[in-house]
Structure 1
Amino acid sequence: MGAGLANQIKGKYPNVYKDYRQLCTEQGDDLLSSVRLITTKDGKTIANLFAQAGYGRTRQQTDYDALRSCFQHLKDTVTQST
């Protein structure tokens, strides 16, 4: 959560970053393809989609199968709640 939109979320919703870091520490590499939903104090829900195993600019980091899985999970979750 060090750049772009993720960094903006980190700045505005520090509890989201705290939960994210705790989850990464506890589960590490087992998070790929998973989704973590965190509700903020102002009632918004932030979805952390775990679709890359690393970070950097030297090579493509996004695992597109994992990203598809995350989007499907998110769609299923939203569909069930409506």
Structure 2
Amino acid sequence: MRTVKGDLLKLAKKGQFDVIVHGCNCICTMGAGIAKQIKSQYPSAFEADSKTIKGSKEKLGTFSSSTVTVGDHQLTIVNAYTQYHWRGNGNKADYGAIRSVFKQIKQEFGGLKIGYPMIGAGLAGGDWSVISSIICEGLQNENHTLVQYAP
């Protein structure tokens, strides 16, 4: 896992990634954190999320996505369903769902430049040491980068 500091969305707009992945809940809100920014900047990503069944636990470990043109390149935004809901304190990240979705991301987007924030470790309250190991296992031998937010 390569790690850089910066703004994932700004780096993606500059063409540093072909695919960006962010963690979503299964309730179709995209109302906080980077999901809210993505919803605002890339409405088609929210539309893809909205086409899934609101509140379905079956979404855990899957994803929806949208591909947009940014400047002279294509960018795919992946809404990874890594937690069921957002309410309450404590860990809401589902490690099994994270493992499943990153295996699928490797199958679907292998060979592309993939960027992501600290999925599941921010608002979801998950343990980044566990999550980062899962991501590295799922994206083994892929070009993937953790972007630690720094304005």
Normalising TM by the smaller chain, what interval? 0.7 to 0.9
Distance apart, 1:71 and its partner CA: 0.9
Q: TM-score, normalised by structure 1?
A: 0.81
Note the alpha carbon deviations across 1:29-66, whole angstroms, 9 max, x for none. 21011022211243210011111111124121111011
Structure number having the greater strand percentage: 2
Contact 2:49 2:65 in 1 (8 A): no
**Residue of structure 1 equivalent to 2:47:** 18
Query: In the alignment, what sits opposite 2:64?
Result: 36
Q: Give the AA of the match of 1:20.
A: D
Q: Which has the higher contact order (CA 8 A, sep 6+)?
A: 2
Could you tell me how far 1:5 is from its partner in structure 2? 0.9
> Partners in 2 of 1:69 and 1:14 — Cα distance?
25
> Matched residue of 1:69: which SS?
helix
Q: What SS is found at the alignment partner of 1:6?
A: helix
Q: Show the counterpart of 1:71.
A: 102
Identity of aligned residues (%): 29
What RMSD, in angstroms, separates the aligned Cα atoms of the two structures? 2.0
AA aligned opposite 2:90: R
Give the Å deviation of 1:24. 3.2
Q: CA deviation at 1:16?
A: 1.3
User: Any stretches of 5+ residues in structure 1 without a counterpart?
Assistant: none
Q: Give the Cα separation in 1 of the matches to 2:109 and 2:43.
A: 24
Aligned to 2:13: none
- Higher Cα Rg, which structure: 2
- State how many pairs are aligned: 80
Structure 1 segments, 4+ long, off by >2 Å, are: none
TM-score (norm 2): 0.47
What is the identity, as a one-letter code, of the residue corresponding to 2:53?
Answer: C
**1:40 is paired with a residue of what secondary structure?**
strand
Q: Partners in 1 of 2:64 and 2:51 — Cα distance?
A: 12
